Structure 1
Amino acid sequence: MKPVLLAGETFHVTSLAAKGYEVGASSRYINGALRFIEALATRNIDVVQIGGDRCEAEFPRTMEALSQYSAVVLSDVGALSLLYTSETRLGQRSVNRLELLRQWVEAGGALMMAGGYTSFQGMDGSAMFRGTAVEECLPVLCLPTPDGVEAPEGLDPVATDLDHPILDGISHPMPYILGMNRVRLRAEPATTELLHCADRSGNLPLLAVRDYGVGRSLAWMTDIGPHWLSHDFMQWSGYNTLMVNMIRWLAREI
Structure 2
Amino acid sequence: MAKIKFLLAGESWVSNSTHYKGWDFFSSTVYETGVEYLEKAFDNTNIDFIHMPGHQAAKEFPLSLEGLQQYDVICLSDIGANTLLLHPDTWLAGKSTPNRLKLLVEWVKKGGGLMMCGGYYSFAGIYAGAKYYRSPLEAILPVNIHTFDDRVETPEGAKPEVLDSAHPLVAGMGTDWPGLLGFNELVLKPEAQLVAKVDEHPLLAAMQVGQGRTMIWASDIGPHWCPVSFAEWPGYARLWNNSVNWLAGK
Asked if Structure 1 and Structure 2 have the same fold, meaning a TM-score greater than 0.5 normalized by the shorter chain, the answer is yes
Q: Partner of 1:249 in structure 2?
A: 246
Secondary structure of the corresponding residue to residue 229 of structure 2? helix
Moved over 3 A (4+): none
- Kindly state the Cα deviation for residue 69 of structure 1 after the two structures are TM-superposed: 0.8
Matching residue of 1:65: 67
1:14 aligns with 2:16: yes
* 1:239 corresponds to: 236
**Are the equivalent residues in 2 in contact too, given 1:4–1:70 (CA < 8 A)?**
yes
Measure how far apart 1:44 and its partner are.
Answer: 3.7
1:225 to 219, 222, 229: 222
* Pick aligned residue for 1:30 from 32, 36, 51: 32
Q: Distance in 2 between matches of 1:185 and 1:67?
A: 28
Which residue type is aligned with residue 228 of structure 1? W
Shift of 1:161: 0.6
* Amino acid aligned to 1:173: D
1:100 aligns with 2:103: yes
How big is the shift at 1:41?
A: 2.3
Match of 1:161 in 2: 164
CA contact (8 A) 1:124 1:148 kept: no
**80, 86, 105: which is aligned to 2:82?**
80
Report the more deviating stretch, 64-73 or 86-95. Answer: 86-95
* Equivalences, count: 247
Deviations 1:207-231 (A, max 9, x none): 0000011110010000011100011
Look up the equivalent residue of 1:113 and give its one-letter code: M
Q: Percent identity?
A: 38
What is the CA–CA distance in structure 1 between the aligned matches of 2:36 and 2:164, rounded to whole Å? 29
Distance in 2 of aligned mates of 1:20 and 1:55: 40
How far, CA to CA, are the matches of 1:121 and 1:84 in structure 2?
A: 18
Residue matched to 2:120: 117
Q: Is the 8 A contact 1:2 1:68 kept in 2?
A: no
- Which residue, out of 91, 94, 98, partners 2:94? 91
For the residues of structure 2 that align with 1:136 and 1:42, how far apart are their CA atoms?
35
- Tell me, yes or no, if the aligned pair for 1:166 and 1:245 is still in contact at 8 Å: yes
**Equivalents in 1 of 2:197, 2:127: separation in Å?**
22
Q: Are residues 1:175 and 2:172 paired? A: no
SS of residue paired to 1:145: coil
Q: How far does residue 172 in structure 1 lie from its aligned partner after superposition?
A: 2.3
Return the match for 1:185 from 184, 188, 191. Answer: 188
How far is 1:42 from its partner?
3.6
Amino acid at match of 2:233: W
- Give the distance between the partners of 1:211 and 1:247, measured in 2 at CA: 14
Structure 2: stretches of 5+ with no match in the other structure: none
The worse-fitting range, judged by mean Cα deviation, of 89-98 and 154-163 is: 89-98
Alignment partner of 1:149 out of 136, 149, 152: 152
Query: Under a length normalisation based on structure 2, what TM-score does the superposition of the two structures give?
Result: 0.96
- Give the aligned residue type for 2:68: L
Aligned to 2:53: 51
TM-score norm. by structure 1 comes to 0.95
Partners in 2 of 1:16 and 1:186 — Cα distance?
45
State the one-letter code of the partner of 1:159: V
Classify the secondary structure of the residue corresponding to 1:179. strand
Q: Supply the AA of the counterpart residue of 1:192.
A: Q
C-alpha contact (below 8 Å) 2:4/2:46 kept by paired residues: no
Task: Render the CA deviation track for 1:46-77: whole Å, top value 9, x for unaligned.
Answer: 11111111111100111111111110000000
> Secondary structure, in 3 states, of the residue corresponding to 2:51?
strand
For residue 34 of structure 1, report the CA deviation from its aligned partner: 1.5
Matches within 5 A, 1:190-209: 191-198=192-199, 203-209=200-206
Query: What amino acid is aligned across from residue 207 of structure 1 in structure 2?
Result: L
What is the alpha-carbon distance in structure 2 between the residues aligned to residue 2 and residue 39 of structure 1?
14
